[in-house]
Amino acid sequence: MFKKYIAGGVLSLAVVWALAAQSELNTVVNNSMKAMGVTDVHTMVISGEGGEGSVGQTMNPLSDHWRWFSSKNYIRSIDFDAKGWRIQRIRGEGENPPGGGAGTTTPAPDQPQNQVTMVGNNFNNQIEYAMLPLGFLKTALEKQATVKTETTKGKKYTVLTFPIENAVPAGGFKTSVSGWIDDQGYVERVATTIDNNVLGDITWDATFTDWKDWNGVKFPSHIVQTQGGRKFAELMVSDVKTSQPVDLTPPQAKGGFGGGKGGLDCRRQ
């Protein structure tokens, strides 16, 4: 009987701890969403200019970026409820002279791209979704992230961490994603570790800086992603709109170019 009392007591404590952890997570996420003005945001349209790199290809081994392509007239329309987005842009040459590959000298031509991505159980898509400030907070809540505090270079952060995995193939990819929330409630950085066929385990991260108020919604005007220590994608945001209709109907391929990688939807394919 005494052992039953002990077991029951341990179980009760576990329940209390679990409820306390969930309550702490809810508070952190809710406060952050409130600070960013996104509590009731379901869709978001981000416009800007930037570029992306081709991981593993670099013109100069000492450069801070991979082989670079421009991303003009960039528009990313996101439906957070459906966990999907459409990216429209013009992708072209980003370096003069061109670099990467086996001594490429012909500039990449400007090409329009129009791609719809649904997150589903895809490993990379889950990470891309989590590398949006609001996507990160929603995923942290959904996956019951752990909460801790951390001080880096004298600055205090609340760090949320949760797992991401790909069930196909069975026993396949699995990693953890962490996000650093500053004292204003803004998601300042999201990072994870992925396996690259050439480079092995590398850090994939996104940093969000120069936050602005876009009609009540706080969003960074500068986003940089790196893989393996080099810049992998960059976006200078010129406009952010919310409560806009988002069409996630897959585009019809035209000449094999209906899709393609899309700026900050820049998985290595």
Q: How many residues belong to the chain?
A: 269
- DSSP string covering 221-248: EEEEEEETTEEEEEEEEEEEEES-----
211-223: per-residue pLDDT in tens? 999 999 999 999 9
228-238: per-residue pLDDT in tens? 889 999 999 99
C-alpha distances out from residue 103 to 53, 97, 113, Å? 16, 10, 25
> What average pLDDT does this structure show over 58-72?
80
Closest of 268, 266, 255 to residue 111, by C-alpha: 255
Peptide bond between residue 97 and the one before it cis (omega within 30 degrees of 0): yes
pTM of the entire structure? 0.84
227 pLDDT higher than 80: yes
Which residues touch 182 (CB under 8 Å, ≥6 apart)? 155, 156, 157, 188
Q: Above pLDDT 70, what percent of the chain?
A: 79
Tell me, what's the pLDDT at 167? 58
Tell me, what's the pLDDT at 80? 98
CB 268 within 8 A of CB 96: no
Q: Which of these ranges, 24-28, 138-142, 190-194, 195-199, has the smallest mean pLDDT? A: 195-199
CATH of domain 2-242: 2.50.20
- Quick one: tokens of 187? 């998601």
168-202: per-residue pLDDT in tens? 555 567 899 999 999 999 999 999 999 888 788 89
Tell me, what's the pLDDT at 267? 42
Can you tell me whether residue 35 is helix, strand or coil? helix
Mean pLDDT over the full length of the chain: 85
CB 143 within 8 A of CB 127: no
